[in-house]
Each structure stands twice: as C-alpha cells, then as structure tokens.
Amino acid sequence: MNVMDDKLFYNEIKEFARNYLDKQNSNEKHLWERLGEFGILGLSIDEKYGGLGESYRMCAEILEILGYTCWNNGLIFSINNHIWMAQNLINLYGSTWLKNKYVGNMVAGEKIGAFALTEPDAGSDPYSMKTCAIRAGDYYIINGRKTFVSNGPIADVFIVFAITSQTEMKKITAFVVDKTMPGVTIGKNIEKMGLECSPTSDICFENCEVPADNILGKVDLGNNILDAALEWERCFEFIPHIGSMKRIMEYCIKYSNERKQFGKRINENQSISHKIANMSMKIELAKNLMYRIVDLKEQGKSSYYESSIFKVFVSESYVETCRDAIQILGAYGYTKEYPVEKELRDAIASTIYSGTNEMQRNNIFNIESIRNMV
C-alpha cells in the first residue's frame, strides 16, 4: 500500500469499528465472520491462507486505531487474543498440515482461537502446571484443567500447554486441541468486573485424545513457544490500550473545555490541565516503545525485555489515565451514565493478564542483572 491507500484503509477501519464493533458481543458468530471478511483477523497472515500479509508496523497502527475508535474494550481484547495467542502461534510454529487445517478458517472467522495456559494452582509460575500429556501410539492423552481462558466459552481451537516429561526440569509441549475432540469440557462464563464482552472460562481435559500431528513445534520444546507467545502478547495485545488512552484524553479535553466552575473552564486550573498533559506524555512514550518493539519484530529479533517494559508501562499508564479521567469528571465520572468508570474497570485487568506487573519487573531486573555481571 502507498500512503494514500493506508489512509483510506485506516478510515475504513475507523468507520467499521465505530459503526459495528461497539454494539457487538464476542459470542456472536456472525461478528467473527464479518471481521474475517473485512480482513482484521488476517492482518499479518500470508495471502495464501486468506490473510493480508501486512507488516507488523501496520498491524500495530491498525490495532491502535481499533483501541481508539472502539469503546468495547472486551471485544478488542478477544479479537487480539484470537489473532496473537492462537492463530499466530499455529502460523509460526505449526506444520504445513496444521496451518492448512486451521489458519485459513481462523482468518475467515469460521473458527475462534484461545490460549490455555493458566491453571488453578499455576498462574505466575506456569511451570508448576499439573496438566500432563502421555503418548499412546499416534495420540497423546491429555488430563488436566486450565482456568481463566480468554475466549474459552466461544473458542473452537485451543493452544494447550501440558507436561510431557517429568524430569527434574519439567518439559512441556504445546498442542492444538479442537473443542470437538472427546474429553474436552468447556466451563461456564466467569463473570468479571470488566472486559464483559471477552468471555472467560475453565477448560477441562479428561483422557482427551489429541493426534501427535497436532503438536506445535517439537515434543518437550514447548517452553520456547510459551516464552515467544507471551512476548507477542505483551506487545500486540497492549497496543490497543494506547488508542484507548488517546480516546479518553480527548474525551477529557472536550469535557474540561465545556465544564465551568467559578466562572471559568475547569481546564484553566493546572490541577486539570496537568492531568491531561500527563496523559499525552504517557501516550507518546508508549508509542515510542511500541515502534521500538515492532522494529525488532520486523527484523526477526527477540523483544522479550522490551515487551516486559512495554507491558508494565502501558498497563499502569492506562489505569492512571482512567483514574485521572474520573477525577476530571468528578462525581459524573463515577456514574455509569458516563463511560470512564467502565474504562477503569477494563483497564485494571491489564496489570494482571499476560503475567502480572510484579513478574514483569522480576524479568526486567533479572535481565539487567545478567547484563551488568562483572
């Protein structure tokens, strides 16, 4: 695409998000097919699988636009989870057979993907997972339970991590599991304080037979795929939050320009104007981090360190932006008549998912310690 084509496409995305996505729930099948027709689900996927084959830079810019235009944060989260934590992993690590079987259908929105890692007793420490897979001829028998699976209630395809070697250092393997396989039970939707349009559930596996052909990568080497998956998540699933912050900032500018107290606009008070200035600084810094990571991805390099920083900075900036927005709106901001209270409820989850911010700080410290070893 040239610059003019890019602008036209971006405007089409804004129009699509504004007129369609805000009013939808992610459990509506026709929505996913519409997303597939529009091309949103296949941004980075090769054209031979029905994708657009766009650069990661353009993917990032489109995701920021979606976050900016669409107030339905839960839906955007579900879409991102499908793209980066399921479809993307099959595209990068799946065999040609797996890609032919799943990727085209996922790009078209005919199959919805989910990422199943967290367990009741294995959150920040994924290697304490209990889900295991035992070889039985041409199949692996999976037993275990995953929890807080985003898209769980609506997904057709799950990326499931299970222990395949009980040595001193546990080794895990990544599997592509279809919901139609015997032994798969999907739990009811877990109600949350935010992200209501992103359904979440437990997934149980009881003697679930998964063909050995459904392994991503190689047996016992799922650790590498897991690390890579979380790196993708910490980058691309947090990009829409930059757009959300910009949308909230502009909402606050408009409100503070119209609202008057003591005979003057409230944004003439530094306590208000400085909050908006802080929002702007956070947005610009987040975008700089985003482009740094995207450039690394374009070069095929790791961004594990940078993505951890990005995840922490964006999530905490997002929460702070929402809290400041409520302060700017005062009592109105605390009511459901105005949109910012919902934004805060949605934003809080971002400090938890994809590895808590405390764990990200551990990652950052450990990497810096290694770098500075004498």
**Model pLDDT for residues 126-170, shown as the tens digit of each residue:** 888 999 999 999 999 999 999 999 999 999 999 999 999 877 678
What band does 124 get if pLDDT is binned at 50, 70 and 90?
A: confident
What band does 326 get if pLDDT is binned at 50, 70 and 90?
A: very high
Q: Which of 284, 292, 308, 327 is nearest to 367 (CA)?
A: 308
97-114: average pLDDT: 96
User: Residue 9: is its pLDDT beyond 90?
Assistant: no
Query: How far apart are the C-alpha atoms of 243 and 70, rounded to whole Å?
Result: 9
What band does 24 get if pLDDT is binned at 50, 70 and 90?
A: confident
- Amino acid 5: pLDDT: 66
Helix axes 73-82, 239-258, angle to 10 degrees: 170
- Amino acid 129: pLDDT: 92
- Amino acid 2: pLDDT: 52
Per-residue pLDDT tens over the stretch 48-101:
999 999 999 999 999 999 999 999 999 999 999 999 999 999 999 999 999 999
- Amino acid 10: pLDDT: 87
User: Residue 247: is its pLDDT beyond 60?
Assistant: yes
Per-residue pLDDT tens over the stretch 161-207:
999 987 767 899 999 999 999 999 999 999 999 999 999 999 999 99
221-236: average pLDDT: 92
Q: Which of 349, 339, 293, 354 is nearest to 316 (CA)?
A: 349
107-121: average pLDDT: 95
The size of the chain, in residues, is 374
User: Residue 347: is its pLDDT beyond 60?
Assistant: yes
Q: What is the pTM of this model?
A: 0.93
Q: Which of 46, 118, 123 is nearest to 87 (CA)?
A: 46
* % pLDDT > 70, the chain: 98
The chain-wide mean pLDDT, for the chain, equals 93
Q: Which residues contact 261 (CB under 8 A, 6 or more apart)?
A: none
321-326: average pLDDT: 98
Query: How far apart are the C-alpha atoms of 103 and 94, rounded to whole Å?
Result: 10
Per-residue pLDDT tens over the stretch 349-364:
999 999 999 999 999 9
Q: Which of 198, 189, 196 is nearest to 77 (CA)?
A: 198
